[in-house]
Amino acid sequence: MTGGSRTASELDAIETRHAPKVSIGLPVYNGERYLTQAIQSILDQTFTDFELIISDNASTDGTAQICAEFAAHDQRIRYFRQERNLGAAPNHQFTFHQSAGEYFKWSAHDDIMEPAWLERCVEVLDGHPDVQLAFPLSILIDESGEVVRKHPDYGGRLMSSRPSERFCDFVCKQNDCIAIFGLGRRRELQTTGLISAREESDRHLLAELALMGPWFEIPEYLFKRRHHSEAYSHSVARGHRMAWWDTSRADSITFPEWRSIGVYHQLINKVPLSAQERWACRRLIVRYLFGPRWYRQRWVKLIRDAARGGYRHALRLTTSGADAPGLDGPQ
């Protein structure tokens, strides 16, 4: 089984089976340590009209056995095992393309959803047609499940009716991407770039969703986000991150900080906006680069990004034929 868009036979199969209200995509790679708890938290939801699509990225540990056992006992689970490790981005896309629900969310193999998570988020999307993304407050936990701290909320301006204000709050505040695990509308998500094969693509997707419509942060702590040594942010070195996102692009030299600026410009042009809001978003990008509040921090990152890319390019010229960066990470 490989990733990518749906085939004609897959589309026919989706049309003939019951379409659930919610589809949950769970991409996983070597996740045996936390996977059982994560899957069980999904199955324990008070809202039950969902399908769970698990895509195993050719794991080499006990992930396959865990998934197969769960799938054998719950018909809501659809388990796929990839023939080779595709990387995180194609594996995320695969779960989305297999989905049939009105609403869609991604789940990680190491996080925990409280039982009311789906129920509360579905209520929000059902009751607020303009909302693009619904998610609850989050608690950060460690490897053993002990609470580390409460995750900061995103702030009220992400509920603003003005796209420029929502875009500003997400891009300029440098919020983390925990909202990527929120519940969205599959029809609208289909128009986006999803989780694509580039660094920071989760941030780009969230920026696009912020331009498309308001977010709704439910004031209940219903999500436990696990921080541990095997997580992407801790275990994957900067020079190896393209291999983590997409194994077919392991040798690519990228400039993610510079690219993000270009992506934000593309999104401003892509999403339908009024002339006033489009201009406000463009001014925001200029302030983002040159405004006194963000200038120093932003340009330090841009210079560091250029230096790293240049170093890798020079290293490639002097060590042609060397092995590609190793693949690491849980997805």
The reply to whether the predicted model has a pTM over 0.85 is no
Query: Which residue did the predictor score with more confidence, 33 or 254?
Result: 33
Could you give the count of Cα atoms lying within 13 Å of 152 in the half-sphere of its Cβ? 8
Per-residue pLDDT tens for 132-185?
A: 999 999 999 999 999 999 998 887 778 999 999 999 888 877 567 899 999 999
Sorted by where each starts, the structural domains of the chain and their CATH numbers stand as 8-235 (3.90.550.10)
Question: Mean pLDDT score of the chain, rounded to an integer?
Answer: 83
Q: How far is CA 221 from CA 137, 178, 320, in A?
A: 5, 13, 51
pLDDT of residue 261: 82
Per-residue pLDDT tens for 14-72?
A: 555 679 999 999 999 999 999 999 999 999 999 999 999 999 999 999 999 999 999 99
- The SS3 call for residue 157 is helix
Amino acid at 131: V
Q: What is the distance between the alpha carbons of residues 187 and 149, in angstroms, rounded to a whole number?
A: 35
Residue 253 has pLDDT above 60, yes or no: no
Q: How far is CA 321 from CA 55, 271, 316, in A?
A: 33, 42, 8
pLDDT of residue 227: 86
Helices (H), 161-255: 163-172, 186-189, 201-212, 232-235, 241-245
Q: How far is CA 92 from CA 30, 105, 112, 209, in A?
A: 15, 10, 18, 17
In sequence order, what DSSP letters do the residues of 108-124 get, joined into one string?
-TT-EE-TTHHHHHHHH
Q: What does residue 153 show for φ and ψ, rounded to 5 degrees?
A: -75, 165
> Looking at 29-43, 85-99, 116-130, 168-182, which range is the least confident one?
168-182
Per-residue pLDDT tens for 263-305?
A: 999 999 999 999 999 999 998 888 766 665 554 566 566 566 5
